[in-house]
Amino acid sequence: MDFLHTMIRVKDLDANLHFFCDLLGLQEVSRIESKQGRFSLVYLAAPGDMKSAQEKKSPLIELTYNWPNESGESESYNFSRGFGHLAFRVENIYKLCADLQNSGVIINRPPRDGWMAFVKSPEGCSVELLQKGEALPPQEPWASMDNMGSW
């Protein structure tokens, strides 16, 4: 028995792919498009998981994008408290948070301790970032940065 993926639904696929891939650094592994079912499934993996993802197809993030109906309407999604977050180990939490912030992403929980940060996807999926190995030495502007919003 293996853990295969966590699925989240997205309303704006492009905005979510921009966040998860261009900004966060995940990579697209595969994609299924169903004209009949009017949905797209996009499978993402962290770079460190690509070999495993290609061999056994996990662990992955599955983005489910339900296409708008014929009137152009699509469902909006939100995350209630049962779901907590997706967590990723990152090479350099300061560099990633700086890059995210420069791209307009709010750092909800700044990495004051050089170890842990939280951000959110464009549609509110909470993402935890954890520094690889030991925590980095405290560093400004992060060390004295307040929390912003919830995550």
Catalytic residue annotation: 128
Cβ atoms 58, 5 nearer than 8 A: yes
Q: Cβ 27 to a second copy, closest distance in Å?
A: 9
User: Is 42 a residue that touches a second copy (CB under 8 A)?
Assistant: no
Residue 143 makes contact with a second copy by CB under 8 A: no
**Is 109 an interacting residue with respect to a second copy (CB under 8 A)?**
no
CA distance 97 to 37: 37
Q: Is 22 in the site for a second copy (CB under 8 A)?
A: no
CA distance 114 to 137: 6
12 counts as binding a second copy under rule CB under 8 A = no
Calpha distance 76→35 (Å, rounded): 20
Among 19, 20, 65, 88, binds a second copy (CB under 8 A): 88
